[in-house]
Amino acid sequence: MADTRDRRIRVPRQVKRGEVFEVRTLARHPMETGVRFSTENIVVYPRHILQEVLAFYNGNQVFRADWFSAVSANPYLSFHLKAVDSGEIEVVWISDYNVRSIAKATIEVI
């Protein structure tokens, strides 16, 4: 299962070949730790976090991060890549329940 809602990615539109550029991402997600509870409703909120983030540049994996419950809600992530060819940058977030969210952006290498 994959979706693109509330996932953002920002990259420059044009980059010179060999230049290092920044990829910025934002995932709107509650990052529920599983230890929060409500005394009003006597409910323990189940754990639901983004466990893994993968990034691909023209289909090749170029970045990976394993996240844990200490990551804040609506996590922001940035990393740097070296411009090699024009193409697509794709970031994939994978949750506890193996739900995959995807954001894509295109860069032009000049």
Q: 24 is written with which tokens?
A: 């910025």
pLDDT at 28: 85
pTM: 0.85
Give the model's confidence band at 1: pLDDT under 50 very low, under 70 low, under 90 confident, else very high: very low
pLDDT beyond 70 at 2: no
Q: How far apart are the first and last CA of the chain?
A: 35
In this structure, the number of other CB atoms found within 10 A of the CB of residue 57 comes to 19
> In this structure, which topology does domain 2-109 adopt according to CATH?
Immunoglobulin-like (2.60.40)
| E strand map for 43-85 | 43-44, 50-57, 60-66, 76-82
| pLDDT tens per residue across span 99-110 | 899 999 999 999
d(CA 64, CA 53) in angstroms, rounded, equals 6
pLDDT at 78: 97
| pLDDT tens per residue across span 23-81 | 999 998 888 887 877 778 788 888 888 999 999 999 999 999 999 888 888 999 999 99
Smallest CA-to-CA distance from 87 within 63, 59, 66 is with 59
